[in-house]
Each structure stands twice: as C-alpha cells, then as structure tokens.
Amino acid sequence: MTTDNRLQTSLHSLTDALPIAWREALSAPSVKNALTQIADYVDARVASGATVYPAAPYRALTTIAPQDVRVVILGQDPYHGPGQAQGLAFSVPDDCRRPPSLRNIFKELAREYPDAPTSPANDLSSWTAQGVLLLNTSLTVEDGQPASHAKRGWEVVTDALIADVARQPGARVFMLWGAHAQAKRALLAPRDDRLVLCANHPSPLSAMRPPVPFLGCGHFAQANAWLENHGRPAVDWASPHTGVARQGTFGL
C-alpha cells in the first residue's frame, strides 16, 4: 500500500507550529518574509488542486533541536513521486521502493562498513534519533516535477536553518552532496569544531562522476572518526529502524 504523503495541512499553520528553537532561527525579517512567500505559494497551489509532497515538510525540524545536531546531511528537494517523501532528506517509508539515490547511499555505507548489516531500513528515522539533521534545500515539491518549488523562498529559509545550526557550540559535521547543497558552503566558514565534507550527489547521474564521486567518498567513516576525535559519539549508520515511535517532537 502506498502511503498518502500529500500535503493536506496549511503550510502557514505548520510553520506556526514549529518548535520554539527553530522559530527563533527563522525570526529575521527577511527570513519571515521568505516563509510567508513560500507558504502563500504552496497553500495556493494545494488549493488549486496541485499535488504537493510531503505531508510533513518540517519533519526534520520536529525530531531534533538545533543544539543536538551532530551531523547535517543536505539534499536538494523532496522525492516527487507518490508515497516517497516523508520530510527527511533521502528517506522513504520502509514499504516504498528504494529510490536510486538511497540505494547509492547504502552502497557507499556497505563499502565503508563491510561488516555491518547490508540492508538498513529505507526510513532513516534512526539517524535523526542520533542527531543527524536530514535537510533538503527546498522542503516541498509537486508531483512529478523536481525542483518545482525551488527559488520561491525555501533557499532563504534553509540558509537560516543551516546558519543557526552552525552557530551552535560543539563539534559538527556537514555533508554537502551535489551543487545545490554545496551552494551553502559559504555559510560554513572554517572552524576547529566544524568538518565540511563535499561530494557529488548520490543520484546515479552523478554518483560516479568527478570532481568528487559520491561512491568512494568515505564520508560516513570520516564523520565518525572526526566526531570521536572531538569528544562526540559516532553515529551508528546501520542501526535498526526505530519507526514512528521516535517521531515525537522535542518540545514546542
């Protein structure tokens, strides 16, 4: 059965319900204007009959607080097919056919950790429970139209989110995969407690191409080694799926 992941709640109301810590990160006038602009647009598109995904665009933010983020994995925009996008970059429900980008992510994990389980769950909730922020540069998309909500305000919003996480004390890793993600590199000035890893997007169109092929990038093992060297726990990338029981908000 395909999960109904269509957006059916006003984006304005979902924005108003964000946890306080993230609302504060989005409080600058220019960011609030961008939020209003994208929410107006998305709500109008849904009202006109457009199919917009996912049902919970802010899920990545409601499962983790800014100060608890250890790793940021930045994608482009949500999957644009029915039953796929669930508000976490690259993640899909377990009963959904595994998208090619996610297959390549697991292929790279198997290469870096050959002794770990070879078939992690499609739903990456277990990563978010360990402090991994799975964020896209745009948080909504229309059915069958990749990047359809790009350049309509989301980029200003996600810039503010990334900048806020980057300001938090403590060691963090930022994984920027593909050109859209790497456009955020300017927000991440060099710091002793910050590691920025760049590679091509895991999509089959780019995963093996130069300048930095995703397959063979070694990002997962590099991130863990760096975190441990800076006194933070490593991420168990092959940890069992934790499912909806771990989707509760961290505080409003």
The DSSP output letter for 107 is: H
The edge-to-edge listing of strands for the beta sheet with 132-136 is 132-136, 71-75, 172-177, 194-199
195's tokens: 């590691």
The catalytic residue among 16, 40, 68, 77 is 77
Of 48, 34, 26, nearest in space to 165 by CA: 26
Active site residue 192: no
**What residues contact 13, with CB distance under 8 A and at least 6 apart?**
none
52-53 and 141-142: which strand pairing?
antiparallel
132-136 and 52-53: which strand pairing?
unpaired
Q: Left (φ > 0), alpha (ψ -120 to 50) or beta: where does 131 sit?
A: left
Active site residues: 77
